[in-house]
Amino acid sequence: MNGLKLPAWLTGQGVKPMIAPIIVVIILAMMVLPVPAFALDIFFSFNIALSIIVLLTALYTVKPLDFMVFPTVLLMSTMLRLSLNVASTRVVLTEGHTGTDAAGKVIEAFGHFLIGGNYLVGIVVFIILTIINFTVVTKGAGRIAEVGARFALDAMPGKQMAIDADLNAGMIGEPEARQRRAEVAQEAEFYGAMDGASKYVRGDAVAGIIVTIINMVGGLLVGMLQHDMDFSSAMKTYTLLAIGDGLVAQIPSLIISTAAGVVVSRVASDRDIGGQLVDQLFGKPQVLYIAGAVIGCMGLIPGMPNIAFLMLAALLCGGAYMISQRAKQPASEPAPLAAVAAPELEEAGWQDIVPVDTLGLEVGYRLIPLVDKGQGGELLRRIKGLRKKFAQEVGFLSPPVHIRDNLELKPSAYRITLKGVEVGSGEAHAGQYLAINPGMVTGSLPGPLTSDPAFGLPATWIEASLREQAQTLGYTVVDAGTVVATHLNHLITSHAAELLGRQELQQLLDHLATESPKLGEDLVPKLIPLSTLQKVLQNLLREGVHIRDMRSIIETLTEHASHSQDANELTALVRIALGRAIVQQIFPATNELAVITLDSRLERLLMQALHTSGPDGAGIEPGLADTLVTQAEQATRQQEQLGHTPVLLVPGPLRALLARFLHRALPQIKVLSHAELPDSKTIKVTSLVGGHT
């Protein structure tokens, strides 16, 4: 069949999209067109099989979203039962006088076998099944779905914040973050759909009662008036047919309702219902021993079915004994330690000098499981993710983080060191969660109050059982490993300039040589030494400018290095070349830049101070310096209240001076020069510094 392309519906590729429309057409056709008894048997059998498949699927589902199509299945199965009721009612009323098999063998079997041919028993059984389905199963499942939908919607902001926190900490990538955000939205939509779909099942139960009564009354009238049957024969025949028809519909409805209750009532876990049921209900031998003793005592009471009770008691106690024996681990004797000869005291040598780690993380003994590879060590994986995220965003590979335990620290404390000096510390309680208040929570939580070690936000350490409640109240909830990882990520980013040493810079240049061999061969060391390039890159990193665009940096330095070897001047020229990237980093996805500017009189005073004191600004008059800091702080606060990043726009000669001068007092403010702004951006001045000097 060379060159012959079969249609998609013949190859199976287009069959799946056609299944749902075909089922809908069949359901609607059964409500309008007459259906023979044999076809009714097939559809009733299919309805029973479908309900069993749905129940088993619900039992083996690990989480509700694994059966996301369930609300639609619930609607389709309900419509199928109603259409079968309509079709069977038509056959019962038109052919019921011919005998109890007029509507097919399935209805006849339910009428004779399940209720023994006694229509009074059938009526009672049908009413009981309907009450169980309508009052207990369906109503309970609907209530659980309603509450689940409400809590899922309330918890969405907290879960979204937790995903953002994991993304910022480098634990997950952008694809996984998008997937988790989609799962959060799907969970809320699923419970909302289940809340609405459960109303279909309740309506189906009511419709089943009404249809059965109509079949009984209508059949009695048709049999007596149209087919001259006596009251007793008509009552028996049509009642058995009506009850059989009702039971055929109600039993699958009860099974589907049970499946709905199973799906919405299960608690999130990585195991199916069967595994949880066996382990949690029959996993504790103490419970089985006590239950066996109680059943055994009941079996000794005169008049009780002693054999049944005593056999059950023996079974429970035997099962408890087997579980307890299986749980016991044979204690292995420790191997005898070989006698180790005491080594002679050696002289001090150069090998005793241990180099200082560039980046270090020291933890108390309770945090050792977070960094122990043998115990899971989730923090190790997160630190690897942090370094990868840092390299992708900043532009160079940071030194590895050396981790060790420190018994001098508190059991739950940790500290982060840079070149042997502590730059950050905090506490993290393994097994608990830190609920961080982002400023818009709706309630308080029990637990010790603290602050987020990375950003200083108010927070509370809570137990794992309060995690969902905290997310519902609007808290950002993170575990102990995420707390340490986020703090470490914040410190690595803020000290990026100090992490770019000679070794890291040489590795960066070697990497560039493999990617673009001609890019840097004329720069180092022909035009500028390695130390000058390092100083320029450190100047950029110190002000939060990423160095990913090494092509622009090296090309700019190559162009201007023959005229100047001053690192500060070269940094200013590189910043102009990187202006578009700097502005995009500060103002993502906007063309209007809300900035702070200097009053013209203050600009003149600062230019005079620059000429008299040099670029370090040591000659700025103290009163002028205080006024500058005070008004810059007020303008920064105003910008933050408006939701803008505080950016001070100044002339080019003043940029480096003011950036160094304001960095210590206002590290959050960014200082840009006019030359660094792209021509395509619009400037909007929102604050003025120096208007009252």
The predicted-structure confidence for 89-111, as pLDDT tens digits, reads as follows 777 777 766 666 666 677 777 76
Tokens linked to 52: 């069993």
Query: Domain spanning 355-495 has what CATH number?
Result: 3.40.30.60
Of the pLDDT bands very low, low, confident and very high (cuts 50, 70, 90), residue 403 is very high
Centroid of chain to Cα 179 = 8
Of the pLDDT bands very low, low, confident and very high (cuts 50, 70, 90), residue 206 is confident
pLDDT digit string, tens, across residues 457-489:
999 999 988 998 998 888 999 999 999 999 999
- pLDDT for the residue 43: 83
Q: How far apart are CA 99 and CA 92, in angstroms?
A: 10
CATH architecture of the domain formed by 589-693: 3-Layer(aba) Sandwich (3.40)
Contact 499, 492 (CB under 8 A): yes
- pLDDT for the residue 47: 83
**Verdict on whether the full-model pTM lies above 0.75:** no
β-partners of residue 427 are 413
In single-letter form, the type of residue at position 405 comes to D
Please list the helix, strand and coil fractions of the chain in percent, rounded to the nearest 5, in that order: 65, 10, 30
Please state the rounded mean pLDDT for residues 266-295.
72
Is pLDDT at 672 greater than 90 in this prediction? yes
Of the pLDDT bands very low, low, confident and very high (cuts 50, 70, 90), residue 669 is very high
> Cβ atoms within 10 A of the Cβ of 547, count?
21
> Cβ atoms within 10 A of the Cβ of 564, count?
13
Q: How far apart are CA 644 and CA 637, in angstroms?
A: 10
Q: What percent of the chain has pLDDT over 70?
A: 84
> Cβ atoms within 10 A of the Cβ of 570, count?
23
Q: Which stretch of 199-203, 270-274, 340-344, 509-513 has the lowest confidence by average pLDDT? A: 340-344
What angle is formed at CA 545 by the lines to CA 670 and CA 573, rounded to 5 degrees? 90
Centroid of chain to Cα 596 = 39
Tokens linked to 521: 């061969």
Q: Are strands 359-363 and 592-598 parallel, antiparallel or unpaired?
A: unpaired
- pLDDT for the residue 550: 92
CATH superfamily of 500-577: FHIPEP family, domain 3 (1.10.8.540)
pLDDT digit string, tens, across residues 29-38:
877 777 787 7
Tokens linked to 395: 């532009």
Write down the mean pLDDT value for the chain: 81
Q: Which stretch of 150-154, 207-211, 518-522 has the lowest confidence by average pLDDT? A: 150-154
- Each domain of the chain, given as residue ranges in start order, spans 69-142+199-264, 278-324, 355-495, 500-577, 589-693
- pLDDT for the residue 116: 62
Is pLDDT at 612 greater than 80 in this prediction? no
Please state the rounded mean pLDDT for residues 181-186.
79
Please state the rounded mean pLDDT for residues 286-291.
83
Query: Which one has a higher pLDDT value, 224 or 65?
Result: 224
Please state the rounded mean pLDDT for residues 7-21.
62
Is pLDDT at 339 greater than 50 in this prediction? no
**Ramachandran angles phi, psi of 349, nearest 5°:** -140, 175
Q: How far apart are CA 516 and CA 509, in angstroms?
A: 10
- pLDDT for the residue 39: 81
- pLDDT for the residue 616: 55
Of the pLDDT bands very low, low, confident and very high (cuts 50, 70, 90), residue 268 is low
β-partners of residue 688 are 597
Tokens linked to 378: 């989730």
Is pLDDT at 333 greater than 50 in this prediction? no
Q: How far apart are CA 261 and CA 255, in angstroms?
A: 10
Of the pLDDT bands very low, low, confident and very high (cuts 50, 70, 90), residue 209 is confident
Q: How far apart are CA 505 and CA 494, in angstroms?
A: 18
Is pLDDT at 338 greater than 50 in this prediction? no
Alpha carbon distance, N-terminus to C-terminus of the chain: 90
Query: Which one has a higher pLDDT value, 26 or 161?
Result: 26
- pLDDT for the residue 337: 44
- pLDDT for the residue 211: 79
User: Of 15-24, 307-316, 614-623, where does the model show the most confidence?
Assistant: 307-316
Query: Which one has a higher pLDDT value, 494 or 205?
Result: 494
Of the pLDDT bands very low, low, confident and very high (cuts 50, 70, 90), residue 414 is very high
From the list 503, 518, 690, the residue with the least C-alpha distance to 607 is 690
Tokens linked to 34: 């007459």
Q: Are strands 476-479 and 433-436 parallel, antiparallel or unpaired?
A: antiparallel
Is pLDDT at 441 greater than 80 in this prediction? yes
Query: Which one has a higher pLDDT value, 283 or 585?
Result: 585
What angle is formed at CA 686 by the lines to CA 680 and CA 687, rounded to 5 degrees? 130
Sequence-distant (6+) residues with CB within 8 A of 507 are 396, 397
Please state the rounded mean pLDDT for residues 311-339.
69
Is pLDDT at 594 greater than 70 in this prediction? yes
Are the folds of 355-495 and 500-577 the same? no
